[in-house]
Structure 1
């Protein structure tokens, strides 16, 4: 069992909390770097949510940046 599988198992039923944690971590990084890496942080947040299976529902999802 991989580490990712273990994390997914522990988050079962708490996807919303995990998504909030990923968002909060990204916001903290943006604050520390004055938004210099905002695009990369957003991409990392999206990838992390995809891997953890915690994507926001379609009505909460933000449109992709151009």
Structure 2
């Protein structure tokens, strides 16, 4: 069975390396399953829509970490 091409595959890895959390200016972790960029410092997950990271805090999902 062929693997489905997900929108995240269109994101340039170099772009992901350059992006930081707009609130904390810390690095982001890429979550390909949820199509999000996660800021552990801010406890926010920024969505990736149609291959474009949405880096607006008001669009981010709050996350809880143990």
TM-score, structure 2 normalization: 0.26
Bigger Rg over Cα? 1
Q: Specify which structure has the higher proportion of helix.
A: 1
Between the two structures, name the one with larger relative contact order (CA 8 Å, sep ≥ 6). 1
TM-score, structure 1 normalization: 0.26
